[in-house]
Structure formats: structure tokens, C-alpha cells
Amino acid sequence: MFDRRKLQAQMVLKGYNVSQVAEMLGINSATMYRKLGNDGDFSRTEINQLIDILDIEDIRGIFFAPSVASMQQGEEG
């Protein structure tokens, strides 16, 4: 899981829309929207591409945010 709001904010900061990022990732726009809508997760390769495309410096804040980690821990226990 990831922090959808932070990822979308980074896209806006870099001047990209969802369709543009999807194209750079090599996926369909509908797939990108599903992933952003919590109906899927990004692969490791896609995460690495997003880090490069969006020049993400704080990957922990987006992909390993405390709220995301605590949600996952709650699901396990």
C-alpha cells in the first residue's frame, strides 16, 4: 500500500497528470486510476519508475508511510 494523496500531490508538483504518468510507466490509464483508487498496488519496478519520474526524495513518506504501515499491521493481527 501507499499514500495515495502524497503520490498524487507529487504528480501535481511535477506537472504530470495521471494519464501522462501511466504512459511513462507503460500501463493503461484505467490501470493507473485503479491503482490510485486502492484497487491495486504498484510493482517494485513501477515504484522505482515513479521515484525516477516524479523525482521522489522521501520514498518512505509515500510508499512506507507510518499510516500505511500501521494499516498493514492491523490487517495481519
Predicted confidence at residue 63, as pLDDT, reads 84
Report pLDDT digits (tens) over 4-22.
999 999 999 999 999 999 9
pLDDT of residue 52: 97
Cβ atoms of residues 68 and 2 within 8 Å:
yes
Say which residues have a Cβ less than 8 Å from residue 71's Cβ, sequence separation at least 6: 1
pLDDT tens per residue, range 35-68:
998 777 899 999 999 999 999 998 888 887 665 4
Q: Which domains does the chain have, with CATH numbers?
A: 4-61 (1.10.260.40)
Is the Cβ–Cβ distance between 7 and 17 less than 8 Å? no
CB contact set of 46 (below 8 Å; sequence gap of 6+)? 25, 27
Q: What is the pTM of this model?
A: 0.78
